[in-house]
A and B are shown apart, each in its own frame.
Chain A
Amino acid sequence: MRLTSLPPSFARWGRAALALCGLAVLPGCDFNFWRMDGHQTTMVTAGPVAKSQLDVFYVTVWVTFIIFILVGAVLAYATIKFKAKTEADEHAEPPEQSHGNPLIELGLIGASILALVVIAVPTLKAIWYTYDVPEELRENAYEVTATGYQWWFKFEYPNEQIDGAGTLVTGNELVIPAGRPVRVNLRTVDVIHSFWVPKLAGKVDMIPNRGNHLWLQADEPGYFWGQCAEFCGESHAVMRFRVIALSEEDFAEWLAAQKAPARTVAPAVAQAGALPQAQFASFRRNEYGFTDKWDANAAVPPLEHWRQQQFPAKDEDAALIAEGRRLFVEKTCAGCHAIRGHEGMGITGPDLTHIGSRTTIAAGLLENNREQMARWLKHPEVVKPGNLMYTTGYVANNVQLNDAEVNALVAYLESLK
């Protein structure tokens, strides 16, 4: 709770009052919510599209605020001034039975129309500006295709072709070059979804049988939160994603890494011998999937975490990874997930070729660390109710994973940097 800007006694009384209201059950909760500077805010923008939308919003706020003050003042004045003060007053001779004043009414109508014109002009300008990449920027624009699935996002890079493997595909974390306009083609394979990265651009829906698109641009390198914004079924609330904007050099480096086939740590033959025992924490349903470093007030910027995620862990166990790779096939994971260069062949689930380099798993829902990966693999139906990995994978193929197997799979997936 941040009440530090107030004098100490005020803060003390304030805390006591809040505690009385039961608000004390939220220790560490930030009550300065009117600043609206969260990870997913629309009020702090990082690109020209969101900026243009915010500018229009401020115009509407100012116009309506001024009208509210004027009309509210008259309404409040009339209410106080003409209030019957006593019982007798109520039964006094009724006031003059007047029926209106056409001049006042026409004047007010005219004034309302003028106020609306003030809003309409920037609105029209911004409608055209935000619709597609402006003509003069088009040459420099980068193109990606985002496809909605229940409940995750696939990202394709039509400009990045890989010899013998087609288009570069990734999932749930969209990496884009900073300072360049990006045109995002919006598609869906099932129901309607909506692509929304508030700091970069307002949302546009992904609708079946319809080729939608939007454009956005991140002015500086950064790490941005996004989320599906159209109700799309049971786990709509946990269909999230990230956008990572990189400088031109970093982006080129990232592309090169992504185009490479999956990383192989050890000979693809499982070592004989018992697997190491593993113990994983148990999680409550819905439990928060991130460590404190992802907090809005964390010291290290999120982009830095993303960078660290690109390097292999120091304590990799080659044998365990090899066993995980074997299990990935045995447990039928490979039927839905592609791991380019390894055995994964499926395209109905997210491409996992470089899953280890992403900061999140389960569509932006959980931090990509060992504990959370184990949680996701063990109980996907709890983390994301109704998800297809569980219903058409685990249930349909009767997949059972014990802790040791989960441990191996975690190690394998983590190694796919």
Chain B
Amino acid sequence: MDASVKSHFTGAEAPAPTRAAVFWRPTAKSGLVSWLTTVDHKRIGFLYGVFALFFFLVGGVEALLIRIQLAVPNNDFMSAQLYNELFTMHATTMIFLAVMPLSAAFFNYMMPLQIGARDVAFPRLNAFSLWTFVAGAIVINLGWFMPDGAPDAGWFGYAPLTSKQFSPDHSIDTWVMGLQLLGVASIAASLNFIVTIINLRAPGMTMMRLPVFTWMTLVTAFLIVLSFPAITIALVELMMDRLFGTSFFEVSNGGMPILWQHLFWIFGHPEVYILILPAMGIISEILPTFSRKPLFGYPIVVFSGATIGFLGFAVWSHLMFTTGMGTVATAAFALATMAIAVPTGVKIFNWIGTLWGGHLMMRTPMMFALGFVWMFMMGGFSGIMHSAAPADAQQQDSYFVVAHFHYVLIGGSIFALLAGIHYWFPLMFGRKVSEFWGKLSFWVIFIGFNVTFFPMHFLGLNGMPRRTFTYDGNLGWNAPNFIATVGAMILGLGIFVYFVVMVYTYFKGEKVKRDYWDGRTLEWSLPNPPPEYNFAVIPTVHARDAWWYEKHHREEIAREKAAHAKEDAAHGGIHMPFQSIYPFVTSVGILIGAVGVCAVDYGHKLPVVIAGGVIMLIGIYLWAMEGNEGYHIQPNEEDLKS
């Protein structure tokens, strides 16, 4: 145990250690260095959010280009090659670079606040996750700036289309390496969240008192930790095939392309729940707050979330109903898929139960949340249709599937994340979004979304396959395609309005008081924006909706807080971790190495890879050696009040 940690417990002043210059700890609180070296979960969450929203807009532009190409039959707006790159990158970007990191932004920012913690368990690892995610995002998008072009084999990258024989250029390599880096980032972040939720809960915050969003963070983190290794293995095998001539998926040497599908989807199906469970968590926070009553059937909502997580690992082959698995396997996966509808339905029943008898405040977050329930219900029902394997044989890889998963991913995940931004905006930035503009953007998005994707059900049933850059005009697909394109433009306009309003509000919005929505969970007990140490005094939790309880039991809480404050004072104030540059250095090394592997031609590969590896190792070494020390600060007098 090193000196500073000891001082945290004894309150004694630690002897000043003698240190080498490389172990210099940055202390900047503003400016670029402060952002590169930050270990504050709120700043890291904010950065995740900024990067995610940037890529959300990139993915959105890609989607609009796709819709322009499909507006009319036999369009020649773009080439087949560019179309294939766009749909591959649209999916990859939206899944890995927009929805997942946006969820991660909320995990980072809100989860520690909800459990009454001052940071995540491993602050520097958290910074590493962020920067490695950024490195992965850069690598995946490298193709746009290379002559080889962007990845073009679909986000699912089915072997053997991704083999050297059928995709000889670097584009697939960038996809493989980029996903590997994102996997590293996601797994590191998830382990951090798991340890944080298990270990850093405030006194009295038992597992069955955790806010539902935190519960869903935990389930999602476990899903990531358990599912990403599968795709990592698949990607390593593919990388070996491409770089070193192994034969995991090489047909001519007896490799099995079907193996890729199993490895990919045993990751890919839990991934679907990685995208939707955080959204369900957000909705389970917003509906009670704006109904002004607790979540209906909290234990059953939590258990159904966990059940979805478990069952999510048992249904991957429903994405492979058309691969000729045979009758028994098809039947088993069909039944398991139907089973997953039960816990999902339970959530919807409980959300309606939450509304029942409440005082519904129809504010923008609530509008998005109700929109989520409706749209998610529709996506869920088309999901049940897919679970009937014989019907799915017609729907698989048709626009019916496109309609289905956009209903759950936009109508579900994105609506919930947009709701979450509105909901927590007053807490994060101390300003409120105009109700008029918020609701206007909601309605434009809602209408645009439905106009885009509802006709796609008809398209799919009318036989239009996915991932096709063109179609003939005599098949009855013209009108729905054109309507969908018009809808996509409306949706794009809605998203544009939404973000303009957000940016405006960030700078000029009306300032609001603490606990703007009359919240129920601990994050609302904080001043806005929250101070870097979050809680001036660690709260004691007595009930499920801890802050709601606190607001209605002021005296009891005040007594406890005084006792906690005395403890903190005895330790010399609040213990804060030092900032560090080494997580960033490590990620930069990884980025350079990855670019060397995937985007540099043979002959120059080795020096670049070695340079990246050396930087990474130096980063890790100094990170380990600089120690996990920290410093103490005194809480602001203002913040002590609540």
Contact = CB atoms under 8 A, between A and B. Distances in A.
Most chain A CB inside 10 Å of its own CB: which residue of B394, B466, B473, B480: B394
B397 A230 contact: yes
B374 A75 contact: yes
Contact of B80 (A34, A210, A230, A386): A386
B481 to A, nearest CB: 9
Contacts of B256: 209
Interface string B66-87: 0000001111100111001000
A202 interface: yes
A82 B358 contact: yes
Interface in B375-413: 377-378, 381-382, 384-385, 387-398
A202 B322 contact: yes
A60 B384 contact: yes
A201 B394 CA distance: 7
Contact of B358 (A34, A52, A95, A225): A95
Interface residues of A, number: 116
A127 B355 contact: no
Contacts of B393: 53, 130, 201-204
Interface string B306-346: 00000000000000001110110011001100110110011
Nearest to B346: A109
A56 B391 contact: yes
A79 B370 contact: yes
A385 B397 CA distance: 22
Given A30-B478, A53-B393, A285 B76 contact: yes
B226 interface: no
B478 A105 contact: no
Nearest to B156: A231
B223 to A, nearest CB: 23
A112 to B, nearest CB: 5
B388 A60 contact: yes
A26 B373 CA distance: 35
Interface string A59-93: 11101110110011011001100111000011010
Given A82-B359, A204-B322, A207-B324, A236 B467 contact: yes
Interface in B285-319: 291-300
Contact of A210 (B299, B324, B350, B466): B324
Contacts of A98: 293-294, 296, 357
B462 interface: yes
Contacts of A109: 342, 345-346
Contact of B359 (A61, A95, A286): A95
Interface stretch (A118-126, A243-251, A312-320, A321-329): A118-126
Contacts of A276: none
B346 A119 contact: no
Nearest to A40: B463
A71 B384 CA distance: 15
Contacts of A266: none
A78 B467 contact: no
Interface string B565-609: 000000000000000000000000000000000000000000000
B356 interface: yes
B340 to A, nearest CB: 10
B160 interface: yes
Contact of B160 (A126, A208, A237): A208
A83 B331 contact: no
A112 B341 contact: yes
B345 A39 contact: no
Contacts of A300: none
B154 interface: yes
B478 A57 contact: no
A72 B377 CA distance: 9
Contacts of A192: 158, 160-161, 257
Most chain B CB inside 10 Å of its own CB: which residue of A35, A54, A57, A295: A57
Contacts of B11: none
A94 interface: yes
A228 to B, nearest CB: 7
Contacts of B295: 99
A52 B76 CA distance: 38
A130 B324 CA distance: 11
A191 B476 CA distance: 29
Contacts of B81: 234, 385-386
Contacts of A56: 388, 390-391
B477 interface: yes
A316 B363 CA distance: 76
B59 interface: no
Contact of B349 (A108, A116, A289): A108
Interface in A114-143: 116, 119-120, 122-124, 126-131
Interface in B195-247: none
Most chain A CB inside 10 Å of its own CB: which residue of B73, B80, B356, B393: B393
B352 interface: yes
A354 to B, nearest CB: 24
B465 A84 contact: no
A82 B356 contact: yes
Contacts of A23: 482, 486
B468 interface: yes
B462 A41 contact: yes
A53 B391 CA distance: 5
Given A209-B255, A235-B80, A229 B327 contact: no
Contacts of B294: 97-99
B468 A43 contact: no
A205 interface: yes
Contacts of B437: none
B397 A229 contact: yes
B76 A116 contact: no
Contacts of B3: none
A124 to B, nearest CB: 6
Contact of B293 (A21, A30, A94, A289): A94
A129 B326 CA distance: 12
Most chain B CB inside 10 Å of its own CB: which residue of A89, A124, A213: A124
B61 interface: no
Q: Which 4 A-B pairs have the closest CB atoms?
A: A202-B393, A38-B476, A40-B463, A237-B468
13 contacts: A41-B461, A57-B385, A60-B385, A64-B385, A75-B355, A100-B353, A120-B335, A124-B335, A127-B331, A202-B322, A225-B463, A233-B166, A286-B74
Interface of B: 72-76, 79-81, 84, 152-154, 158, 160-161, 166, 251, 254-258, 291-300, 322-324, 326-327, 330-331, 334-335, 338-339, 341-342, 345-346, 348-350, 352-353, 355-362, 370, 373-374, 377-378, 381-382, 384-385, 387-398, 455, 458-459, 461-480, 482, 486, 548
Given A90-B359, A288-B473, A296-B475, 20 more contacts: A29-B479, A30-B478, A33-B480, A42-B395, A53-B391, A56-B390, A68-B377, A82-B291, A100-B350, A104-B349, A104-B353, A105-B297, A108-B346, A109-B345, A109-B346, A119-B338, A120-B338, A192-B158, A202-B396, A288-B74
